[in-house]
């Protein structure tokens, strides 16, 4: 199959591209490299440096005629979306609709979308949250993701475009940007390896559901093979506190930094954990990588890239 992956130079998208290629699919990557890196792009993939908002998308679709579009390109910062809701909307809603219009125009059969379970449900009413949990987005980022899902529903009903929206919990692993706000595992790991002090927001007892990026890539492969349409949580169903993350990473990096606590993030949900039962039942999904193993691999990745950066700067 020919799959066009937007955001394929980014953290999750590049792992999805690697797996699709490993499975024998032909992959076209579209990324404007605003946060993604060219070195993340699998050399077997065809690469276009292009913006999902631009008319280049139409040209690329016309030339490549993909069977499937797997959409990862996005403005990913919740904080940025709060400060710049219009710009968030521009990329995350308008960019998605530009792709969907071209999918219909050029006969794409399926659209796989990177949504967010972590942000969509807001403060949880029950735990773990399944796909029927009320959607109460607390940020423009989450509102935009939810709007994109509604457009998927519309394009499916009106134009017959099949879709699967994967609602991820907190994804972590190699290639995650340690400078953003999104990945506490990446941020803590890099700081600890550099001997810098990571700061725990609030009391550190807030929980999240951390899923390893390769499990997420596998969910995409299952979505590709499935004939279902709809929304699926992709998560582990396990809650981990930020304090636990800090302690495991401290041990793995052999860091000596003390536990330092800062201000709690305003509006941050206290607990977040998602049920993946629907994805298990309908897609055959099961998370396979334990937090300890995933964190070991993440630390090894950052250790290698930290020492490369150090060597190249001397």
Ligand X SMILES: NC(=O)c1ccc[n+]([C@@H]2O[C@H](COP(=O)([O-])OP(=O)(O)OC[C@H]3O[C@@H](n4cnc5c(N)ncnc54)[C@H](O)[C@@H]3O)[C@@H](O)[C@H]2O)c1
Catalytic residue set:
141
DSSP 87-141: HHHIIIIIHHHHHHHHHHHTT--EEEEEEEHHHHS-S-SSSSB-TTS-----SHH
Nearer to ligand X (CB atom), residue 78 or residue 192: 78
- What SS3 state is found at 277? helix
Nearer to ligand X (CB atom), residue 35 or residue 207: 35
Nearer to ligand X (CB atom), residue 36 or residue 128: 36
- What SS3 state is found at 310? helix
| In the complex, minimum distance from the CB of residue 50 to ligand X, in angstroms, rounded to a whole number | 7
| In the complex, minimum distance from the CB of residue 96 to ligand X, in angstroms, rounded to a whole number | 9
Nearer to ligand X (CB atom), residue 5 or residue 200: 5
**Interface with ligand X by CB under 6 A: which residues?**
6-7, 9-13, 31-36, 51-53, 72-74, 76, 91, 95, 114, 116, 118, 168, 170-171, 177, 182
| In the complex, minimum distance from the CB of residue 159 to ligand X, in angstroms, rounded to a whole number | 22
| In the complex, minimum distance from the CB of residue 151 to ligand X, in angstroms, rounded to a whole number | 14
Nearer to ligand X (CB atom), residue 167 or residue 255: 167
| In the complex, minimum distance from the CB of residue 213 to ligand X, in angstroms, rounded to a whole number | 8
């Amino acid at each position: 199959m020919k799959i066009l992956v937007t955001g394929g130079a980014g953290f999750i998208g590049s792992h999805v591209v690697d797996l699709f290629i490993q499975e024998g699919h032909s992959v076209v990557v579209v990324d404007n490299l605003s946060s993604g890196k060219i070195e993340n792009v699998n050399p077997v993939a065809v690469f276009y440096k292009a913006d999902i908002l631009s008319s280049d998308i139409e040209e690329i679709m016309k030339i490549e005629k993909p069977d499937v579009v797997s959409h990862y390109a996005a403005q990913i910062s919740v904080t940025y979306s709060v400060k710049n809701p219009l710009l968030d909307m521009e990329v995350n809603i308008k960019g998605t609709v530009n792709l969907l219009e071209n999918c219909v125009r050029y006969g794409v059969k399926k659209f796989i979308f990177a949504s967010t379970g972590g942000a969509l449900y807001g403060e949880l009413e029950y735990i773990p949250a399944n796909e029927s949990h009320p959607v109460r987005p607390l940020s423009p980022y989450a509102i935009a993701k939810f709007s994109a899902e509604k457009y998927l529903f519309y394009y499916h009903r009106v134009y017959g475009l099949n879709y699967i929206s994967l609602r991820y919990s907190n994804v972590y692993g190699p290639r995650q940007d340690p400078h953003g706000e999104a990945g506490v595992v990446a941020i803590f790991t890099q700081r600890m390896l550099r001997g810098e002090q990571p700061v725990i927001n609030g009391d550190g007892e807030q929980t999240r559901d951390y899923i390893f990026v390769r499990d997420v890539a596998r969910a995409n492969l299952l979505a590709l093979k499935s004939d279902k349409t709809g929304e699926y949580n992709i998560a582990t169903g396990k809650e981990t506190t930020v304090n636990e993350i800090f302690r495991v990473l401290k041990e793995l990096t052999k860091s000596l930094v003390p536990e330092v606590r800062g201000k709690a993030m305003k509006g941050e949900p206290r607990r977040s954990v998602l049920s993946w039962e629907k994805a298990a039942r309908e897609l055959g999904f099961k998370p396979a990588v334990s937090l300890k193993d995933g964190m070991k691999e993440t630390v090894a990745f950052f250790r290698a890239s930290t020492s490369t950066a150090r060597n190249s700067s001397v």
